[in-house]
Amino acid sequence: MVTLKELVDKEEIVYPGNAACQGCPATLGLRFLGKALGKNIVLVIPASCSSIIQGPYPYSALKVPVLNIAFAASAATASGIWRAFKKKGRRNVQVIVWAGDGGTFDIGLQALSGAAERNENILYICYDNEAYMNTGIQRSSATPPGAWTTTTVTGKKEYKKDLALMLVTQGVPYVATASLAYPFDFIEKLRKASRIEGFKFIHLHAPCPPGWGFPPEKLIEISRLAVLTGMWILYEAEYGRLKLTGPSRHLLSKSRRKPVVEYLKMQKRFRHLKPEDYERIQNYVDYMWDRLKGLLEGSDGS
């Protein structure tokens, strides 16, 4: 188990004074990644906010090797790096993709799917801020229903793609979801993934203050509410066998979940919604839980 002392004392892999926005979830996620796995890692970062946070060459805000790569190619590049390390007999280096939702759900999906199908020994982490934040807050297939973006000014009509569950059904060695509000859960999942041979995917919820329209100091509160309302479900799956984790273990019953409107009303991207829209999104969340409940029963998860 991770201890608070370990979390505080372990060396950071992110330098202070980087180019991130205030309250940036990507930076906090990278810090937790370093706390979990240390510096013996190589990061592959496709075009994203993290490309900016990292800083311009020859400088870097990160204390680990980083390869910046085109939007579509991060999983393929990470696969090649791992195979090169394997050829050299260096099996102790963790090769990690650190990508946003645009480079994962959309532009990078082909390479991601191929790496999963080949069972490449890489860890792919998607920090999901539910839009293309670095290029101006355009919608992605990770954007939830009702959300304002610059390309869905009246609210997105479609539902969010459930990429993590798609990979679960593919039967890859390890898939997990995580939240910045529950760092111990996230770190435990990172460490478990690092011990598993083959393809691993962690889907990290990453609320974006400027993109979602909330004060930076509300990052953890928003993250926590996403879980407690059931809008973001914490689970892990080893070879397709699902298990709820963290607070989500106690939220299968709808009566235990907070109303989703508490989460939506804290964000400007949902301020245009009407009562019937809140009801639609609540029904969508309840459906996600009912579907997951069926999958849990089928895999004897709890």
The set of residues, in sequence order, having a beta carbon less than 8 Å from that of 151 and lying 6+ positions away, is 138, 139
Confidence label for 205 from pLDDT (cuts 50, 70 and 90): very high
Q: Which helix (H) or strand (E) holds 249?
A: none
High-pLDDT (> 90) share of the chain, %? 89
d(CA 144, CA 159): 6
pLDDT digit string, tens, across residues 106-159: 999 999 999 999 999 999 999 999 999 999 999 999 999 999 999 999 999 999
d(CA 81, CA 123): 12
In the chain the beta strands, taken as DSSP E runs, fall at 41-46, 66-69, 94-100, 123-128, 174-179, 200-205, 235-238, 241-244
| Lookup result for tokens 């869905």 | 152
Query: Six-digit token pair at 119?
Result: 């069972």
Sequence spans of domains, the chain? 4-297
Cα-based torsion angle of the residue sequence 66, 92, 35, 177 in order, rounded to the nearest 10 degrees: 90
In terms of pLDDT, which residue wins out, 302 or 194?
194
pLDDT digit string, tens, across residues 249-288: 999 999 999 999 999 999 999 999 999 999 999 999 999 9
Query: Six-digit token pair at 143?
Result: 């954007």
Cα–Cα distance list, 179 to 34, 275, 285 (Å):
16, 28, 17
| Lookup result for tokens 């939240």 | 179
Question: Taking 90 as the threshold, does the pLDDT of residue 36 lie above it?
Answer: yes
> Phi, psi at residue 70, to the nearest 5°?
-65, 155
As to burial, measured by CB atoms within 10 angstroms (0-12 exposed, 13-18 middle, 19+ buried), residue 284 is: middle
* pLDDT in the model for residue 57: 83
Question: Taking 90 as the threshold, does the pLDDT of residue 11 lie above it?
Answer: no
* pLDDT in the model for residue 300: 60
Question: Taking 60 as the threshold, does the pLDDT of residue 214 lie above it?
Answer: yes
* pLDDT in the model for residue 72: 95
Summary mean pLDDT of the chain: 95
Q: How many CA atoms lie within 13 A of 284 on its CB side?
A: 19
Q: Does domain 4-297 have CATH number 3.30.1600.10?
A: no
